[in-house]
C-alpha cells in the first residue's frame, strides 16, 4: 500500500470521526431525583446532567404529577459553573408519581426531549 493510500484512509477516518461528533445530540447522563426512584421526602429541585453544554434559552424542565397535573416549577436554569447541567426548583410535592419532561438543546441546534419518572411516598 502506498503512502498516498495510507494518508487518504487516515484523512477519511479523521473526517468521519469529526463529522459523527459534530452531529451528536445531547444525551441525559443523570437525574436528581434518579429515574425510577421512590423518595421518602419530596425533592426541593430537579437537576439534569447531560453529555454536552446546553443552550439556556431552549432547554426547559416541566413536571407533571398525579392525574397528569402540571406542577408549578420555578424557572429552569442552566448551571453557570457546569453548562452541561440544568435545574428547576420544585414546590412542596405531596405523595404520588411524578414525571420530569425535559427539552434540551446544545450548540449543534438540535432539540432532544425525554422523560424521567419518580415517586414520593
Query: What would the pLDDT profile of 37-88 be if each residue is shown by its tens digit?
Result: 999 999 999 999 999 999 999 999 999 999 999 999 999 999 999 999 999 9
Position 3 in a domain:
no
pLDDT at 12 over 80: no
pLDDT at 21 over 90: no
Mean pLDDT for the stretch of residues 10-27: 54
Residue 61, all three cell numbers: 424542565
Provide the pairing of β-strand 38-39 with 111-120: parallel
- Domain CATH for 88: 2.60.40.1220
Instruction: Give the C-alpha distances (Å, rounded to integers) separating 39 from 36, 59, 112, 117, 121.
Output: 10, 26, 27, 11, 6
Weakest mean pLDDT among 15-24, 36-45, 51-60, 102-111? 15-24
Q: How many structural domains does the chain have?
A: 1
Range of the domain at 82: 26-120
Position 92 in a domain:
yes
28: left (phi > 0), else alpha (psi -120 to 50), else beta?
A: beta
Instruction: Give the pLDDT of residue 23.
Output: 52
Instruction: Give the pLDDT of residue 6.
Output: 44
Position 8 in a domain:
no
Residue 106 contacts residue 54 (beta carbons within 8 Å): yes
pTM of the model: 0.80
Position 4 in a domain:
no
CB-based contacts of 61, cutoff 8 Å, min separation 6: 46, 48, 73, 76, 86, 87, 88, 100, 101, 102
Instruction: Give the pLDDT of residue 120.
Output: 98
Highest mean pLDDT among 10-19, 21-30, 87-96: 87-96
Position 1 in a domain:
no
Position 7 in a domain:
no
Amino acid at each position: 500500500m502506498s503512502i498516498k493510500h495510507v494518508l487518504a484512509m487516515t484523512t477519511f477516518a479523521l473526517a468521519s470521526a469529526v463529522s459523527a461528533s459534530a452531529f451528536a445530540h445531547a444525551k441525559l447522563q443523570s437525574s436528581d431525583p434518579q429515574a425510577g426512584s421512590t423518595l421518602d421526602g419530596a425533592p426541593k429541585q430537579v437537576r439534569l446532567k447531560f453529555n454536552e453544554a446546553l443552550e439556556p434559552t431552549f432547554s426547559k424542565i416541566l413536571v407533571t404529577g398525579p392525574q397528569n397535573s402540571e406542577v408549578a416549577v420555578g424557572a429552569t436554569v442552566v448551571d453557570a459553573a457546569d453548562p452541561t447541567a440544568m435545574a428547576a426548583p420544585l414546590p412542596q410535592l405531596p405523595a404520588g408519581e411524578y414525571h420530569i419532561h425535559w427539552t434540551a438543546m446544545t450548540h449543534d441546534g438540535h432539540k432532544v426531549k425525554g422523560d424521567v419518572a419518580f415517586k414520593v411516598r
